[in-house]
Structure 1
Amino acid sequence: LLLYRFCYLSLIVNNFKAKRCILKFSIKMVVQFFSELLVVSMVNYVLVVLCGASTSTIKENYLLAAIITVCTAVPALLFIQNWDQLLGVVFERKLIRKTDFFVHYITHGTYLGAYLGAIPVPLDWDRPWQPKSRRAMLARLVPSSPNCDVPPLLGIFYAKFDSNLGPRILCQVPPDKQFIECDLFDTVSSFIITKSKLVDQLVKVDLADVKIIGCPKAIPGNQYDRNAYIFNVCFVVANTKTNDRDYVYEPLVEKLAKSLEMLERQRQFLSNQSLPALSAILTKLYNELNETGRSSIILGDHYQVHLALLDHRPSVPVVTSSMAPVLCTKVGKLLANCSDQVLRRLLPQINGFDSVARLSSAAKVDIEITKQCLTDAAVAGVVSFVPALQYKRCYMVTPKIGTLYRDKALQQHLCQTVKLRGSEMPKFSDVFRMLCMLKPSLKLHEWSYSCAPKNYHVHEGKLIQYALLKGLIRQINAYPILLTNRNPKFDGSVSRIDCQQLDGGKSIEELSVNANVH
C-alpha cells in the first residue's frame, strides 16, 4: 500500500510539473470530489458484503471498503475528470496516456488483490448467509415433525473449577430449579469437571431423573490459577426409560463448548465475563431451543453461534440407481425455499415413477451427486423412496393391508390420491379389491389387464406407488445367479447386462436399470 501511494503521488507531482500548473480548488470541487468518494465507498461496501463478509461487522467492512476506494477511486478521480472516459479506461481498456495505464491496472489489481487476500482467511460457517451443509438447509424446508419424541431440555448450567472451592456451578437456567442435590453433585462432579483423560470428550451422566450432557474443556495458561482454566457447559434433559433420543443434543453441546473455548483463548471471554451477562446468554439459548428447536446467540461483540435441534427421523436406506424418489411435500414450496442448486434441478424432475438413474440423466447431474443429494433430502424428510414401477415385476400385499381396512381417514386419502384427473371419486371397495388381487404369481401387467383400473377411475401407477409408500404392498425381487463360469450369450437388449454382476447380490430391477433395459 505504501508503494502504491508513492507511485501515484509521484505521478501526480510529475503530471503537474510537466503542465506547470497551480492547483486551484473551489468549495464546489471539494464537495463533488468527496461526494463521489462516498458513493464509490458505499458500492465497495456492498461488494464486500456480497463476497461473504459479515453484516454485523460494519466498522471492519467499511474500513476495507474505504481502503479499496482510496486505492481505486482517488487516482481515477484525480487523473480523469470525465465519467465516460473513466468508464472507458477501467472497463474498455481505452488507454491513451500514461496515467490511463496506471488507473486501469491499479483498479483491477486492487480488487483482485482484495479477493485473493481473503482466500487464506477461514470461513466462519456459523454465518447464516454462508454455505451450510445440505442436510441443515433441507431441514428448514419441512416443518418440525409433531410426532418427534425428543426429551425436553430441562436446563443449562455453567460450571468451572475454583482454585479454592473445587468444582462449582456458577450459573444455571432456570435459576429456580435445582437439578442436582449438593451431596449428589460432590459424587458426580468428577464427570463434570473432569481429569485430563476426559477433556474434550462428550460425557453423559445418567442419573435417576435427569441426564447431564457436557463436553469438559481445559485451557492451559499462566494467567490462570493452577495454570489452567477448566469449565463445562452442560445440558440437562429428562431421563425416561422409554425415550433414548437425547443424543440429538450432543452436537449442540460440543459446538457450544468449542465456541466458548475459542473465545476464551482469544479474548478471555469466560474469565472476564460477568455472571449476569452469561446467564442472559444461556437463558436465551434455553428458551429458543425449547420453543423453536433452534437458537442464535451472540458471544462477545459480534461472534454468532447458530444451534439447531434436528428432529429425529427414521434411518434412510442406501440410495441405489433403481429406486424411485417420491416428494413428501409440494414442489413449489420446496423450490421457493431451496438454495441448493443441484436439488433445484432435481426436484422438478421427480414424479414418483422414474428411477434415480433416469432422474440423473434427465437433470444432467452426475449419478453419484444425485444419490448424495437425494439421500440428504430423504434425511430431511423432503423425499421418500419406493421401487421403480415395472410392469414385469410381481407385488403382494403385506399385513398392513388390515390397517387400511379399518382406517377411514386412510381410505379417503387413498381414494383422493389414486383417482384419475377429471373423473369422479373411485369407490374404496373397488380400490381395496384391486389391491388384494396382487399376488406373487401375477405380474403387474397381467394384473392391470384383468382388473382394468381405469374403468373404476383409478390411476394404476399412483395406486401401486401409494401402496408401496404406505407399506400396504411390497415388490417381490429376484436375485439372479450365474451358474456357469462361461459368459452366456443373450439376445436383444438383455445382452447389455454385465454377466459379472449376476452374483446374487443385485436384483433384476437394479440390473435392468443399470443396463437401461425396461
Structure 2
Amino acid sequence: MDNSEAFWMDQTDSFPPRLLAIFFSLFDPLQGPWVAIESPPGSVTESDGSEGKELLVPFDSISEYVIPKPEICNKTITVATGGYRIIGHPVSLVGNHYERNALIFNMCMIFHEDENVSSYIPIVKRLSRNLKVLEQQNQYVSDLSKRPIIMSVMEQLLEDLNNFSECMIQLDPQNSINIKLFPVFPSPPTVKGFHVPILTVQLDTLMDKNWDMTIQKVYPFINGINSVQRVAELANVSFNNCCRCMEHLMYYGCLIITDIFQFHNIYAMTTNVPNLMQDPNFQKECVSYVVSGNSARVASTTFSQIFSLYTSLRHGVRVKDWMSENREKFHGLDVRRLISFGIIKGFVYRVHKYPILGKQVNTAALTPEESKLASLLDGQHHFDEICVTMKKGPKEIDLMLSKLGDTAYIYH
C-alpha cells in the first residue's frame, strides 16, 4: 500500500462529488413505481418544459431497483447505468391506513458513474430515516398537500450540497433537516512496530487538553527517527494503543509512516519522478527541506545538485556506499532528510532485505532467543521487522545469523 503524502493527501481532491439530480419516487397501487418529484425537472422522466431534453437516466430502466420488493427495502441500493450512478435507500412502511397496507418510497440521488460517492451514502440513509419519521408523525409523504414542502427540500438539498457541502432546512416549528457532507478517507494501513511515524502538520498547534491522553503522551516522541515500538516505550503506553493512535492520526492526514533510516539501507527511485520535477514549488520545498544550515546555504544550493543525488540511488548500493561515491555533493545536505523527503513525496522507495535460513537447524540445540530468530527467517519478515522484534541492532542480528548457518537474502 502507498503510504506517501501524495497518495494520502490527495484522497479528497474530488470532494465533494457533483450531485446532478434528486428524485422522489413512490409505489402507486394502480400504476406501480412512479416519480412524484424530481429536481431539476426532466432528469429521469419527461415533464412540462423538458420536451426534447435528454434524460440523465430513464426511470423505466431503473424503477425495479428504486422501488424494489419489500424484502430489499430499508437497505442502501446503488445502480450504475449509462455513465451515471444512482444511490437510494427505499423505505417500506406497513399500516392498514395505506392502500395495500403499505407505503414504499425512495429519495434517490444521481451522480456521474466515475465519482466517489461514499460521502453521500450516509446522507441518503439519513434522509430516508428523516422522511420515515416525518411520515409516521405528520404524514409528510402520503399527504398530497405537503408534497410542495418535499419539493422545496429537494431543490434546496441540490443547491446547498453542491455549493456549501451542508444544508439546514426548517420544515415547521418542530421539524428540521440538517445535513453536512464529510469526506470518507481510505482506511489507514496497519501500523507495525518497525514503522517510523512522520508528522505532516504541526500537531501542537491543533492539540488541547481535551485530546486523547495517549496521543498527548506519544506526540513528543514522534520525531521522524523513533520507530512506533520505541515511541511506545518512551511514552510508557501499551504498544497496541500506540499503534491505534498512529492509525488515527494517519486517517486524518496528520501523519505518514516510513521505514527506519539506517546507513546500510538501500533505496531506489520510482517512476513518479518526471511529473514532480517540473513543479517549481516542489523544487523550492525540496531544497529548503534537505539543506542543513542557514538561509545563505539554502540559497547557494540548487535543485539540480540534489536531483543528481536522487538519480544515483539504485539497487544494491547501501546509503553509506552511496554517500562515499558522492562525498563532495553532500556538503551542507542532511542525508536523513534527503531520503525522508523522497519517501514522503513518493518518488523514493526502500529496498528491503528478507533473510532466509538456507538449511534446517536443530531447534533443540538453540537458545530461546536463537529459536525466536530462526522462526522469523522464512522470507516473510524483512530486516527492520526482525531488528525491532528481537530488540537488537543490525550488527547483533548479523552476528546471530552467522551462528545459525547459511543465510540467503531476498531484496524487494
CA 1:219–1:511 in structure 2 vs 1: closer, same or farther (change >3 Å)? same
Larger mean Cα displacement after TM superposition, 301-310 or 148-157: 301-310
CA 1:486–1:398 in structure 2 vs 1: closer, same or farther (change >3 Å)? same
CA 1:462–1:294 in structure 2 vs 1: closer, same or farther (change >3 Å)? farther
Cα distance, 1:386 vs structure 2: 1.6
**SS across alignment from 2:190:** coil
Q: What do residues 397-430 of structure 1 show as CA deviations (whole Å, max 9, x unaligned)?
A: 3333444554433222210111214352133233
Contact 1:479 1:507 in 2 (8 A): yes
Query: Are residues 1:370 and 2:235 paired?
Result: no
Identity between Structure 1 and Structure 2 (%) = 25
TM-score when scaled to structure 2? Answer: 0.76
Of 428, 435, 441, the match for 2:316: 441
CA 1:479–1:259 in structure 2 vs 1: closer, same or farther (change >3 Å)? farther
Corresponding residue number in structure 1 for 2:307: 432
Give the ranges of 4+ consecutive aligned residues of structure 1 lying more than 6 Å apart after TM superposition: 142-146
CA 1:271–1:515 in structure 2 vs 1: closer, same or farther (change >3 Å)? farther
**SS across alignment from 2:263:** coil
**SS across alignment from 1:399:** coil
Query: Are residues 1:484 and 2:360 paired?
Result: yes
Amino acid at match of 2:354: Y
Between structures 1 and 2, the one with greater strand share? 2
Cα distance, 1:264 vs structure 2: 3.8
CA 1:348–1:454 in structure 2 vs 1: closer, same or farther (change >3 Å)? farther
Alpha-carbon distance in structure 2 between the residues aligned to 1:291 and 1:215 = 24
Q: What do residues 274-313 of structure 1 show as CA deviations (whole Å, max 9, x unaligned)?
A: 22333333334333321233445567725765442415x5
Corresponding residue number in structure 2 for 1:310: 183
Query: Are residues 1:515 and 2:390 paired?
Result: yes
CA 1:352–1:205 in structure 2 vs 1: closer, same or farther (change >3 Å)? same
Cα distance, 1:456 vs structure 2: 2.2
Unaligned runs of 5+ in 2: 1-7, 48-54, 394-412
Taking the TM superposition and a 5 Å limit, the aligned residue runs for 1:22-421 are 147-148=13-14, 151-174=17-40, 176-181=41-46, 184-208=58-82, 210-239=84-113, 243-265=114-136, 268=139, 270-271=141-142, 274-295=146-167, 301=174, 305-310=178-183, 316-335=188-207, 339-403=211-275, 405-421=277-293
Structure number with larger C-alpha Rg: 1
Amino acid at match of 2:320: H
Alpha-carbon distance in structure 1 between the residues aligned to 2:121 and 2:209 = 28
CA 1:381–1:207 in structure 2 vs 1: closer, same or farther (change >3 Å)? same
Contact 1:497 1:512 in 2 (8 A): no
Alpha-carbon distance in structure 1 between the residues aligned to 2:99 and 2:138 = 17
Contact 1:193 1:231 in 2 (8 A): yes
Q: What do residues 113-158 of structure 1 show as CA deviations (whole Å, max 9, x unaligned)?
A: xxxxxxxxxxxxxxxxxxxxxxxxxxxxx99977326641012222
Alpha-carbon distance in structure 2 between the residues aligned to 1:351 and 1:177 = 57
How many residues align? The count is 370
CA 1:368–1:194 in structure 2 vs 1: closer, same or farther (change >3 Å)? same
Alpha-carbon distance in structure 2 between the residues aligned to 1:367 and 1:305 = 40
**SS across alignment from 2:45:** coil
Taking the TM superposition and a 5 Å limit, the aligned residue runs for 1:462-481 are 462-481=337-356
Unaligned runs of 5+ in 1: 1-141
Contact 1:256 1:305 in 2 (8 A): no
CA 1:347–1:258 in structure 2 vs 1: closer, same or farther (change >3 Å)? farther
**SS across alignment from 2:21:** strand
CA 1:471–1:510 in structure 2 vs 1: closer, same or farther (change >3 Å)? same
Between structures 1 and 2, the one with greater helix share? 1
Amino acid at match of 1:501: L
Contact 1:205 1:212 in 2 (8 A): yes
Higher relative contact order (CA 8 A, sep 6+): 2
**SS across alignment from 1:439:** coil
Cα distance, 1:202 vs structure 2: 2.4
**SS across alignment from 2:67:** coil
Alpha-carbon distance in structure 1 between the residues aligned to 2:379 and 2:134 = 56
Larger mean Cα displacement after TM superposition, 278-287 or 295-304: 295-304
Cα distance, 1:511 vs structure 2: 1.5
Q: What do residues 430-479 of structure 1 show as CA deviations (whole Å, max 9, x unaligned)?
A: 32233233333332234345545896221211111011122222211112
